[in-house]
Amino acid sequence: MQSENLSAAFAIAARSTTIREPWLKRPLDIVLSSLMLIVSAPVWLLIALAIKLEDGGPVFYVQERWGRGGTTFTVRKFRTMIPDSDKRYGILQARANDNRITRVGAFLRATGMDELPQLINIWKGDMSFVGPRALAVGETILDANGNRIAYEQVPGFYERMAVRPGLTSVATIFIPKDSHPRRKFRYDLLYIRNLSFGLDIWLILLSFWISFRGKWETRGKKT
């Protein structure tokens, strides 16, 4: 399976181009992720304890995701779904009233705190604070006819890999969570065409506001 993923990554890299980032984008990622890792350390312990007390399952959810230029990298999130959810149901995005989500998980997802471990990916350079959402390797969606297809078949999939994936994005902030990937990809490409340091600052501030209000799982307007 790993060799198949690597082969796919090389194929995508061959079809993808990369765009030069604003020169302050990477320094901001390093400084802000470092500060947040230090400040949030006690919260990590409380979250880990809450997850363990609820069902005794693993604290982290580990997943391979697509990165810039078709590379792949490993992310860890605080687990928000029942243990072995991917094995039982496949790699599927959460839906409204999803019975896979635990009680602790619902709170973590609403506040965005399940994403805290990805600060490590930002610090390492796999991700940025702002960019198209990092898609899971092997994740599928339903097409208009109800058939399950790979994300790679959705228009815009390759073009959005021109920049680092982000913890937050234009799509996650401004359109409903259950929007079709094709619509999300259009917003990702809009971000790439208008890439700037000022835009990143604005989107980061909006994301903190959404987290503070616990609105990330809202299917409608978040801001």
222 belongs to a structural domain: no
d(CA 118, CA 124): 10
Instruction: Reply yes or no on whether the pLDDT at 223 is more than 80.
Output: no
The answer as to whether 194 is a domain residue is yes
User: What is the pLDDT, as a whole number, of residue 13?
Assistant: 57
In this prediction, residues 123-128 reach a mean pLDDT of: 98
Residue 54 domain flag: yes
Give the residue carrying structure tokens 């078949």: 153
Does 221 map to a domain? no
Q: Long-range contacts made by residues 191-199, C-beta under 8 angstroms, separation at least 24?
A: 191/130, 191/131, 191/132, 192/19, 192/132, 192/159, 192/160, 192/162, 192/163, 195/19, 195/21, 195/22, 195/163, 196/22, 197/22, 197/24, 197/25, 197/28, 199/130
Residue-range definition of the domain harbouring residue 103: 2-213
pLDDT by residue (tens digit) across 160-216? 999 999 999 999 999 988 888 899 999 999 999 999 999 999 999 999 999 999 999
One-letter-per-residue 3-state SS of 18-43: CCCCCCCHHHHHHHHHHHHHHHHHHH
Q: What DSSP state is assigned to residue 212?
A: H
Q: Other C-beta atoms within 10 Å of 22: how many?
A: 13
Q: Is residue 218 part of a domain?
A: no
pLDDT at site 4: 56
Identify the band that residue 126 occupies on the pLDDT scale cut at 50, 70 and 90: very high
Average pLDDT along the chain:
88
Would you say residue 47 lies in a domain? Answer: yes
Mapping DSSP onto H, E and C, the string for 30-79 reads: HHHHHHHHHHHHHHHHHHHHHHHHHHCCCCEEEEEEECHHHCEEEEEEEC
Q: How many domains does the chain have?
A: 1
Confidence check: pLDDT of 218 > 90: no
Q: Residue 94: which of 136, 49, 137, 157 has the closest Cα?
A: 136
